[in-house]
Homo-oligomer: A and B are copies of this chain.
Amino acid sequence: MTDVLEDRGLATAEDRFRAAKAASTRLATATAIERNRGLEAIADALLARSAEVIAANADDLAAARASGLSDGLVDRLTLDERRIAALADAVLAIVRLPDPVGDVVRGSTLPNGLQLTQVRVPFGVIGAIYEARPNVTVDITALALKSGNAVVLRGGTAAQHSNAALVAVIQDALASTGLPAGAVQTVDEFGRDGANALMRARGLVDLLVPRGSAGLIKAVVEGSTVPVIETGAGVVHVFLDESADVEMAVSIVLNAKTHRVAVCNAAETLLVHAAAAERLLPPVAAALQEAGVVLHADERTRAIVPDLEIASDDDWAAEYYSLDLAVAVVDDLDAAMGHIAAWSTHHTEAIVTESVRSAERFLAEVDSAVVMVNASTRFTDGGEFGFGAEVGISTQKLHARGPMGLSELTSTKWLVRGTGQIRA
């Protein structure tokens, strides 16, 4: 695949950024029908050329096994007929979503007759840096194209052959519908240099979306001059208020912790109001333990529920991604919000309470992307919120916060229509 790209004269990472930028101007004026046709062609081509992709994937898998990659990471890397079919389906699901490009955000007619319209436009070129998961290659490409953007991918050296094969399939499919093949680029084969070039490509790349571990995201945030949307890390808290209903508390904590553990919206810390701890902790702990959850508890919790692991600061900071939960008894609502302010990653926090006063204070004062009353934290999700696509969950405050839909992959532009107006 490398040869194919080099044959096209895109020998450096910067060449590819320029090619993506050039393609982005064509994409930005393509109609939704044209972009959807391109995506449908991609879905078709993934199925038609799956053998080619699987063969390339086999090269990556052989190298991964030889280098002793863990079974979990090898599984994430693996593509087979079934998974490729699922990727094609996911592309078609994105085709069916409403198109954000050209949406009118607001507008007005000024006293002098000037007509102002603020419309959604594509960013231009979106960069993505992620780990060795070839499904992300297809997913982020489809989301970018649907929102009118070109994309430059840097997907982890361990998936290099798979990604190159996928990108070749995608480029050919785009070209077959008259869209520019250059709209999808990869810089995988440049290794770390490719990632570094992508992070410094301000002016050619308009937005960078890191997806993966907290370490990867931090490295991108700190090393990038291109604007970044930070996604992911969730040290998610559930607080059981003094008035919490015990059945609701058990149900929400159990769901938030055990429904799916290796996701960012799973609960990682449980806080319990001291005045209700003796009432709530025993049934909640019993339900969690029955579900296989290991509790890492402070002394006040251990005084009520015996034989628990002792929690340290590492537990309050932990995004376990496993059947582990940190538990603390806190004096009151203020102490709970203080703990959250100290340890939260500002993703999602929930309170279980019957008190409208506690509920409204929690909603107003907790500084997280999503703040919930009497609901499982697992609802922080683009699909659950009705956005259709899962672009990611932003934990930053600029541009997008919380679950991101396709519209978060767009910028805006002001259109001003006049009849010769000048300023007096």
Contacts of A401 in B (CB 8 A): 411-414
Please report the C-alpha to C-alpha distance between residue A368 and residue B381 in the assembled complex, in whole angstroms: 33
Instruction: Give the residue name and chain of the B residue nearest to A378 (CB).
Output: B423
Is residue A188 contacting chain B, with contact meaning CB distance below 8 A? Answer: no
Contacts of A413 in B (CB 8 A): 367-371, 401-402
Instruction: Give the residue name and chain of the B residue nearest to A411 (CB).
Output: B397
Please report the C-alpha to C-alpha distance between residue A402 and residue B116 in the assembled complex, in whole angstroms: 12
**Known: A108-B386, A422-B376. Contact between A399 and B398, CB under 8 A?**
yes
Is residue A136 contacting chain B, with contact meaning CB distance below 8 A? Answer: no
When each residue 340-382 of chain A gets 1 if its CB lies under 8 Å from chain B and 0 otherwise, what string results? 0100000000000000000100011101111111111011100
**Distance (whole angstroms) from the CB of A65 to the closest CB of chain B:** 35
When each residue 387-401 of chain A gets 1 if its CB lies under 8 Å from chain B and 0 otherwise, what string results? 000000000111101
Please report the C-alpha to C-alpha distance between residue A252 and residue B421 in the assembled complex, in whole angstroms: 7
Is residue A420 contacting chain B, with contact meaning CB distance below 8 A? Answer: yes
| B418 and A373 within 8 A (CB) | yes
When each residue 87-104 of chain A gets 1 if its CB lies under 8 Å from chain B and 0 otherwise, what string results? 000000000000000000
**Distance (whole angstroms) from the CB of A22 to the closest CB of chain B:** 10
Please report the C-alpha to C-alpha distance between residue A398 and residue B384 in the assembled complex, in whole angstroms: 25
Kindly identify which residue among B110, B379, B412, B418 contacts A386, using a CB–CB cutoff of 8 Å.
B110
Please report the C-alpha to C-alpha distance between residue A11 and residue B38 in the assembled complex, in whole angstroms: 59
| B123 and A418 within 8 A (CB) | no
Kindly identify which residue among B110, B252, B402 contacts A420, using a CB–CB cutoff of 8 Å.
B252
Instruction: Give the residue name and chain of the B residue nearest to A21 (CB).
Output: B341
| B378 and A417 within 8 A (CB) | no
**Distance (whole angstroms) from the CB of A20 to the closest CB of chain B:** 14
Is residue A221 contacting chain B, with contact meaning CB distance below 8 A? Answer: yes
| B417 and A373 within 8 A (CB) | yes
| A397 and B221 within 8 A (CB) | no
Is residue A28 contacting chain B, with contact meaning CB distance below 8 A? Answer: yes
| B25 and A397 within 8 A (CB) | no
Please report the C-alpha to C-alpha distance between residue A110 and residue B403 in the assembled complex, in whole angstroms: 15
**Known: A371-B413, A375-B418, A414-B371. Contact between A423 and B255, CB under 8 A?**
yes
- Taking residues whose C-beta sits less than 8 angstroms from the other chain, chain A's interface range is 35 or more
Instruction: Give the residue name and chain of the B residue nearest to A364 (CB).
Output: B29
**Distance (whole angstroms) from the CB of A384 to the closest CB of chain B:** 7
Which A237-276 residues sit within 8 Å CB-CB of chain B?
245, 248, 251-252, 254-256, 259
Which A185-209 residues sit within 8 Å CB-CB of chain B?
202, 206-207
Contacts of A206 in B (CB 8 A): 397-398
Contacts of A396 in B (CB 8 A): 227
| A379 and B25 within 8 A (CB) | no
Kindly identify which residue among B123, B222, B371, B374 contacts A225, using a CB–CB cutoff of 8 Å.
B222
| B397 and A365 within 8 A (CB) | no
A-B contact pairs, 23 of them (CB 8 A): A28-B365, A29-B365, A110-B379, A110-B385, A114-B375, A124-B367, A227-B397, A227-B398, A251-B422, A252-B422, A255-B423, A259-B422, A359-B417, A367-B413, A369-B413, A370-B414, A371-B413, A379-B418, A379-B421, A397-B411, A398-B411, A402-B413, A402-B414
Is residue A70 contacting chain B, with contact meaning CB distance below 8 A? Answer: no
Please report the C-alpha to C-alpha distance between residue A417 and residue B359 in the assembled complex, in whole angstroms: 9
**Distance (whole angstroms) from the CB of A372 to the closest CB of chain B:** 4
When each residue 222-244 of chain A gets 1 if its CB lies under 8 Å from chain B and 0 otherwise, what string results? 10010111000000000000000
Contacts of A423 in B (CB 8 A): 255, 259, 376, 378-379, 384
Instruction: Give the residue name and chain of the B residue nearest to A361 (CB).
Output: B29
Contacts of A420 in B (CB 8 A): 245, 248, 251-252, 374-375
Please report the C-alpha to C-alpha distance between residue A123 and residue B398 in the assembled complex, in whole angstroms: 8
Instruction: Give the residue name and chain of the B residue nearest to A260 (CB).
Output: B423
Contacts of A25 in B (CB 8 A): 341, 365, 367
